[in-house]
Copies of this chain bind each other. A is one copy, B any other.
């Protein structure tokens, strides 16, 4: 007997038939003698509608009210899935974040889980009841509902798996595992049987939208064994595990891309010490995440500073920068959403030189201009014009020998 947390994403609970299908899968694990807790997302499309309503009312809406609105999507699913489970004879009960409780830091819209009291869930499972838990939500200060940010249901699942000391956290989704790249772009992409936490982290952060970044960080920290698998097929998925468990390390494990970022350029910033802090301090205070940063060489005492932020954060970033215009002293803010970040990822890069050089050469051969570069120990990312996305991903996938045999 094992204790398993099963997590189902939006497409897996998109309508009543799929919710019934999820109930059947849960029942199978229960019938096998396992203790099961379930974490679910909102029905596919629901969250987008809720977000749109908030944005239509005001682009700079109160994040606490936004959270109140969007958290309802998961609440609907937990109630419906509980009913579906009861209908086929499985004892089940829904749990909202505040009922457990899942305590967060209260950074509304992108809150971090601080603590989960797993005791009521463990005791319910001990009685043979399946807790059906709303993903993506917790509670913040003043008893306000706080959401964990988009994709946060994965994080909920991993955090709950850690809190109830689950043997495994199965993330059911609309793909059947983790691929070397997006199969919609590269039909010859291959499914990976296992990926290291660290690789998955880089893949997630650059947009291989299988697992949300923070959920992988948490799994790594708490040593939660995660399986990514399809809710529509009966095949094993990809395991996300410690790198020691992975026998054969390729140089590059995967090629990822992200269209979620926009490029922001501050023109003619004074080139003086401390200027970066003047720019990025206020952005951080406004909860705007800055990713890639590049600063051109100075001429005439000024420089251009380029960085990327989430596309949704552009209005907020502009607002902050306008307010700080006097203290920063720049000439102009330019924002370009027509960019894609493309990354190669692999633990093997640690011990091999020249891996990034192959990337730059491959892109140059295809005539693709690199706008920004950033690197880490196991990843190299470049920002390119959005229209080159597919071309670049395909070329790199072939260049690193990732294509499946024809």
Interface majority SS on A: helix, strand, loop or mixed? Answer: helix
**Contact among B62, B75, B87 for A83, CB-based, below 8 A:** B62
* Partner-binding segment picked from A64-72, A255-263, A281-289: A64-72
A39 → chain B closest CB, angstroms: 15
Tell me, yes or no, whether A84 is within 8 Å of chain B by CB: yes
The complex is assembled from copies of this chain, and their number is 2
B residues within 8 A CB of A156? none
- Report the separation of the CA atoms of residues A69 and B56 in the bound assembly, to the nearest whole angstrom: 25
A66 touching B79 in the complex, CB below 8 Å, given contacts A98-B98, A143-B99? yes
Q: Which of A166-188 contact B (CB under 8 A)?
A: none
Q: Which of A31-88 contact B (CB under 8 A)?
A: 50, 53-54, 56-58, 61-62, 64-69, 71-72, 75-76, 78-80, 82-84, 86-87
- Report the separation of the CA atoms of residues A57 and B22 in the bound assembly, to the nearest whole angstrom: 13
B residues within 8 A CB of A145? 96
What is the size, in residues, of chain A's interface with B at 8 Å between Cβ atoms?
A: 37
B96 touches A68 (CB 8 A): yes
A79 touching B69 in the complex, CB below 8 Å, given contacts A56-B16, A143-B99? yes
- Report the separation of the CA atoms of residues A62 and B86 in the bound assembly, to the nearest whole angstrom: 8
Q: A50-B76, A58-B83, A69-B79 are in contact. List 13 more A-B contacts (CB 8 A).
A: A16-B57, A20-B57, A54-B83, A58-B86, A62-B86, A64-B93, A64-B94, A65-B82, A65-B93, A67-B79, A69-B75, A99-B143, A99-B144
